[in-house]
Structure 1
Amino acid sequence: MGKSAKRPPVQRPLGAQISHMLKSRGVDVIFGIPGVHNVEMYRGIEEAGISHVLARHEQGAGFMADGYARATGKPGVAYVITGPGLCNIMTPMGQAYSDSVPVLVLSSCLDETAARRGQLHQMLDQEAAAATVCDWSHEARSAEAAYALIDRALAEFESQRKRPKHIQTPIALLGANADPAPDVSRAEQNGQAGPPDLIGLEKTLAGASRPLFIFGGGLAQNGGQGVTPNEVFVRDLIRRSGAAAFCSYAGGGLLSPEDPLSFGCYLGRPESARIMAEADLVIAIGTELSECDLWRNELGHQGTLVRVDIDPEVLADEHRAEVTIRADGMAVVQALLDKLPGETAQPKWNVAEIAAAKARWRAETDSERPGIADICDALAEIMPDDAMIFSDMTQFAYVAKEVWDMPRPGHWHHPTGFGTLGYALPAAIGGAVARLGKPTVAIAGDYGFQYTVQELGTAVELGLPLPILLWDNAKLKEIEDSMVESQIAPNAVIAQNPDFLKLAEAYGAFAEEPQNLAALQSAVLKAFQSDRPTLIRMTSDLTG
């Protein structure tokens, strides 16, 4: 008998084929909102075995995808409609770009825009609009192009700096039958890449009298996900080199709070420029040293600056490092450890002076925004080590990022850079979806919380045991302080707040308003055991 004929591929509408393709590439969850323009994208979601999380607004869907990606290291995927749907998710796309988060946004688009006007959801140039807030934005004009662009995005998430991508597909094409996507093709690697070329960095480090490291979020990504947590290597590097170190906000948790050579996350304090000037060697690994890291234009170093990063743009920035190494930061850390002596080195900095500086900076922080540091201490005392926190642009988070010593890296996520309000709640929902059974927390301010408060409905719908810590000072306090500092009479900084407890209950969530720190601790622990989110209102009265 001859060989049986090969069965022809099963054709489906392209929208359905895309969902099947994503599932075959490891995508298990999609965040989004269906509409008449992208309805064909929803045809194959359940059939493919993908879970869909219904957001209440596309901005929420984008932040959920961002939170999911930060929690897992996998791409967060969002489905949105033409026009306003795409515009609404552009804010999360801009945030993901600033913070190097792998978010893939798939949208529909109109079939023809140049020759027709007045169509539903029409924009002048949707593809170009999205391109302003992501790595790239392209239109797929065939099924083959759609598959190729998706695979390109997924491959770049693995091999390059993680940045959001946008792919749009015409409505008619989404509904047209298409062959399935090709099987996953991965080139076989013949052996692993060797260690990065340190170009004598280990000798420079050994010869320095006051070496100083700056560890950034590039080392904290997926912290603790591997066989050996990243923080183990980083802390060992400090111990065996005798160098002191700072962490950027995104690198929080890489250093141990008990390490006498750790300056913690106080890089943004003005006095840290003086510390930089005292070092004869500064090695910055996996950090942009951006305005949002330093809150000044110059690092302040006088000695040699070494930059390690996978992004060539970072290596050629305004800080003009004398030595640049384009490589994965953790690979460089491990390569340095391979060349250092195994025993603990003598500290090359005065540990008493480091402790005094940290105490001084904490006092400064507490003076600038009174009472918050003590609340942070109370929360940190009862917070599980594996808790993942998502914070918003709020004074509470500004203090916490400096004074709260996280036990693990990659477990505090903040909208750095783009600085979007409304990030915390939906991002925490995405993180909680990714970490079912593990503690996840949202921290928001009373004003920013209202940007995405409607996502409480999603959290209740999913039954997430999510504590939402709401810092309520009844105003835009950070902006008021900025106006006063600029000798501007405070204006437009007070808004009428709702009764947040009743609002939460209206959505079906629990609500608490603890009257002291012990009650706050109890409320958080109780929230972790609940079958739905709990809004916990915090005010300055907590500390008297």
Structure 2
Amino acid sequence: MQTVGAALVAGLEARGVSVVFGIPGVHTVELYRALPGSGLRHVTVRHEQAAGFAADGYARVSGRPGLAFVITGPGATNMLTPMAQARADSVPMLVVSGVNPRAVQGRGLGHLHELPDQLATMASVALHAEEIASGETVGPALDRAFAAMAGRGGPAHLQVPLDVMPAPAAALPAPVPPVEPPLPDLSAARERLAAARRPVILAGGGAKRAGSALTALAEALDAPVVMTANARGVMHGHPLGVPASPSLTAVRALIADADQVLAVGTEFGPTDYDMYVRGGLPDLSGMIRIDADADQLGRHPAAVALKGDAGRLLAALLDSVVARESGVEGGGAARAGAARAAAWEEIGEGYRAMVAMLDALRGALPGAIVVGDSTQPVYAGNLYYDHDRPCGWFNAATGYGALGYGAPAAIGAALAAPEAPVVCLTGDGGLQFSLAELMTARDEGVDVTFLVWNNGGYREIAEAMEGAGVEVLGCDPTPPGFADLARACGLPYERIAPDPEALGDVLVRSRAIRGPKLVEVAVG
């Protein structure tokens, strides 16, 4: 008979999991016993936090939950930051950890990796946290964890006591299949859309896999579509697309002018809608809102709130829309074009120069996945940038905002889509949070270009301090010599100036080199 650890691995494989990120330890040996005979690929990272970020990147690209195995205590607590990032951005991630034997938990006896209450610690961040108490509970616990990650998405945690992990477990039943709920009543939404003459659609991360339905409905309504950072790529180059932040005055003017707003899969978080913390977002209480999460629907007033999958609901709304004439003066394309032009001017010369670098990247590597850390070109792109691949532009500069995200998340993304070029766009400061993962990339042979925007420190923070009249302090950590670092890690290396043509040239050349490589952009 198999053990609980083996049953867990089998149950994960049965639910479509194929990659697990982690670092083995004495408290997870029984989990690892079953891996060699399974269909799961194990990726050894250099830090448990990187296991979580890599699982996050894998999930965002694949659409399936990312998986991490970690040890009791410090392994679990090292996962809290990536779990918080995943929760903020609605990314499905399952963390499986060990925990001390049941008889000693919470007693303060000084056992290795002991926490006062590990489950409660993880539950403070997870959508669902549960302890597997016996072989009989493995299957139901997995069903509950996967159900929690479905819909809007987010992290879940399962912990297995050391005395339970080697215990016997019978063969697991088949996973409980998801049940498609009935459609909500769409009559009020249909009436409001039919009456609208200047509709605008706000598309968030919940719409990123519904591009076809979103585009079709937008065209039928002749409605501009404002894409938040996590929705970029769903309508690349479309005349109705507005790939610009609703924090910008120009985009807010477009929203304010609308007589009907349809919001799809967006939580209205300040990092998307008010990054300058100045208030003044137009009144949206008359909007039609679509979201997979009932709690999220209750957080902002709306005239019509529809719970369900974005693609399914958009397609259902499209069935009743009478297509409108497009291309007319003052129509949707004209309104979208005016908003794009005004937003482009608004972001300023410095950010426009950085977006020109992003455009050069897209031109050199069409269909690339760009995974960002919190660095100036990423902030610029989140404000205004039109990517050409759905789920191909994401970063940690929204939501929770964890530094060190870019490198491991790019590794996860590359494993989810090995056919696509992947670029990790990171600053010299952010990369120093996770430098060791360059060796993970080398070990796994992933095709990732680590593009380092080296401005000699935390420049965005320094500018914020200057703007607040505070003496700049702590913003100049010395970057490593990236040429020497690349050599030490066995990675091809090039150094360029912040010039779009130079970047395009180096990225075109890099396409001939499979595997990880490092490009330093020396800024000033």
Q: Report TM bin, short chain.
A: over 0.9
Letter in 2 for 1:85: G
Partner of 1:240: 220
Letter in 1 for 2:266: T
Partner of 1:144: 136
In 2, are the aligned partners of 1:473 and 1:540 still within 8 Å (CA)?
yes
Distance, in Å, in 1 between the alignment partners of 2:343 and 2:220 is 27
Aligned ranges 1:2-401 → 2 under 5 Å: 11-111=1-101, 112-158=104-150, 160-186=151-177, 195-220=183-208, 223=209, 230-259=210-239, 261-295=240-274, 296=277, 297=279, 299-301=281-283, 304-317=286-299, 319-342=300-323, 344-345=325-326, 349=331, 351-352=333-334, 354-367=336-349, 369=351, 371-385=353-367, 387-401=368-382
Distance, in Å, in 2 between the alignment partners of 1:143 and 1:360 is 61
Q: Evaluate the alpha carbon distance shift between residue 463 and residue 316 of structure 1 in structure 2; reply closer, same or farther with a 3 A threshold.
A: same
Distance, in Å, in 2 between the alignment partners of 1:308 and 1:484 is 40
More deviation, 349-358/512-521: 349-358
Distance, in Å, in 2 between the alignment partners of 1:285 and 1:302 is 13
More deviation, 407-416/64-73: 407-416
Q: Write out per-residue CA displacement over residues 101-158 of structure 1, whole angstroms, 9 at most, x where no aligned residue.
A: 1110000000112335111111111111111111122211112223321121123333
In 2, are the aligned partners of 1:510 and 1:532 still within 8 Å (CA)?
no
Q: Write out per-residue CA displacement over residues 182-210 of structure 1, whole angstroms, 9 at most, x where no aligned residue.
A: 333448x7xx7655421232231121232
Aligned ranges 1:468-479 → 2 under 5 Å: 468-479=450-461
Shift of 1:527: 2.6
Partner of 1:498: 480
SS in 2 for 1:478: helix
In 2, are the aligned partners of 1:21 and 1:180 still within 8 Å (CA)?
no
Letter in 1 for 2:515: R
In 1, are the aligned partners of 2:59 and 2:66 still within 8 Å (CA)?
yes
In 2, are the aligned partners of 1:466 and 1:527 still within 8 Å (CA)?
no
In 1, are the aligned partners of 2:326 and 2:333 still within 8 Å (CA)?
no
Letter in 2 for 1:179: A
In 1, are the aligned partners of 2:232 and 2:390 still within 8 Å (CA)?
yes
Q: Write out per-residue CA displacement over residues 237-280 of structure 1, whole angstroms, 9 at most, x where no aligned residue.
A: 22221222211111112223341x33322312134333322222
Shift of 1:354: 4.0
Partner of 2:506: 523
In 2, are the aligned partners of 1:244 and 1:349 still within 8 Å (CA)?
no
When normalised by structure 1's length, the TM-score is 0.90
Distance, in Å, in 2 between the alignment partners of 1:327 and 1:177 is 39
Aligned ranges 1:387-536 → 2 under 5 Å: 387-415=368-396, 416-515=398-497, 516-536=499-519
In 2, are the aligned partners of 1:279 and 1:301 still within 8 Å (CA)?
no
In 2, are the aligned partners of 1:235 and 1:255 still within 8 Å (CA)?
yes
Q: Evaluate the alpha carbon distance shift between residue 424 and residue 263 of structure 1 in structure 2; reply closer, same or farther with a 3 A threshold.
A: same
Distance, in Å, in 2 between the alignment partners of 1:303 and 1:184 is 40
SS in 2 for 1:97: helix
- Structure 2: give runs of 5+ residues left out of the alignment: none
SS in 1 for 2:241: coil
Q: Write out per-residue CA displacement over residues 293-329 of structure 1, whole angstroms, 9 at most, x where no aligned residue.
A: 2015553137722211121222121x31122122222
In 1, are the aligned partners of 2:108 and 2:114 still within 8 Å (CA)?
no
In 2, are the aligned partners of 1:305 and 1:322 still within 8 Å (CA)?
yes
Letter in 1 for 2:371: F
Distance, in Å, in 2 between the alignment partners of 1:24 and 1:344 is 49
In 2, are the aligned partners of 1:211 and 1:281 still within 8 Å (CA)?
yes
When normalised by structure 2's length, the TM-score is 0.93
Distance, in Å, in 1 between the alignment partners of 2:375 and 2:48 is 22
Shift of 1:498: 0.7
> How many residues matched?
516
Shift of 1:430: 0.7
In 2, are the aligned partners of 1:74 and 1:102 still within 8 Å (CA)?
yes
Distance, in Å, in 2 between the alignment partners of 1:286 and 1:176 is 43
Distance, in Å, in 2 between the alignment partners of 1:354 and 1:461 is 46
Distance, in Å, in 2 between the alignment partners of 1:357 and 1:168 is 49
Identical-residue share of aligned pairs (%): 34
In 2, are the aligned partners of 1:276 and 1:301 still within 8 Å (CA)?
no
- Structure 1: give runs of 5+ residues left out of the alignment: 1-10, 224-229
Distance, in Å, in 2 between the alignment partners of 1:502 and 1:137 is 43
Letter in 1 for 2:120: A
Q: Evaluate the alpha carbon distance shift between residue 210 and residue 84 of structure 1 in structure 2; reply closer, same or farther with a 3 A threshold.
A: same
More deviation, 433-442/446-455: 433-442
Q: Evaluate the alpha carbon distance shift between residue 363 and residue 271 of structure 1 in structure 2; reply closer, same or farther with a 3 A threshold.
A: closer
Distance, in Å, in 1 between the alignment partners of 2:127 and 2:42 is 25
Shift of 1:370: 6.3
Shift of 1:505: 1.9
Q: Evaluate the alpha carbon distance shift between residue 24 and residue 59 of structure 1 in structure 2; reply closer, same or farther with a 3 A threshold.
A: same
Shift of 1:99: 0.8
Partner of 1:3: none
Letter in 1 for 2:272: D
In 1, are the aligned partners of 2:244 and 2:340 still within 8 Å (CA)?
no
In 1, are the aligned partners of 2:424 and 2:449 still within 8 Å (CA)?
yes
In 2, are the aligned partners of 1:239 and 1:344 still within 8 Å (CA)?
no
Q: Write out per-residue CA displacement over residues 488-531 of structure 1, whole angstroms, 9 at most, x where no aligned residue.
A: 12111111111012112211111111244333223223333323
Shift of 1:39: 1.2
SS in 2 for 1:119: coil
In 2, are the aligned partners of 1:466 and 1:528 still within 8 Å (CA)?
no
SS in 2 for 1:173: coil
Distance, in Å, in 1 between the alignment partners of 2:502 and 2:232 is 27
Shift of 1:365: 2.1
